[in-house]
Amino acid sequence: MNWFLLIILALVVFMNRYILLEPNIPLRLPKWFQQSLQYSAPCLLTAIATPIVFMDEQGVFRSTLLNPYFIATVLTIGIAYTVRHTLATIILSLACFYALVFWSN
């Protein structure tokens, strides 16, 4: 994907969420629909991250046991579960990922 496509996708997602969730817009949605929209961000992030973790640039699947992307993903899940602070999770996860990539080369 190029940057133009990523920016367009981000704008589409933002506008959809803004129109549906902004309280000042007179559009009223049922409660069950509003609750289901809370799951859209994790689903979207999962759909974006899965090919990055399991496939290389040529579209070939990576080996999962020695894959630094996969190991960093598992570590990130563990860090997020134990730390429960978003900024600390991001910093620790990036540090783990870069350390894994550095030592695997």
Asked whether the CA dihedral 31, 32, 38, 40 is positive or negative, the reply is negative
Residue 71 CB partners (closer than 8 Å, separation 6+): 100
Report the pLDDT value the prediction gives residue 97, as an integer from 0 to 100: 94
Asked whether the CA dihedral 20, 7, 41, 46 is positive or negative, the reply is positive
pLDDT tens sequence across 39-59: 877 888 888 888 888 888 888
Report the pLDDT value the prediction gives residue 1, as an integer from 0 to 100: 59
| Contact status, residue 54 vs residue 46, Cβ threshold 8 Å | no
Give me the amino acid identity at 37. L
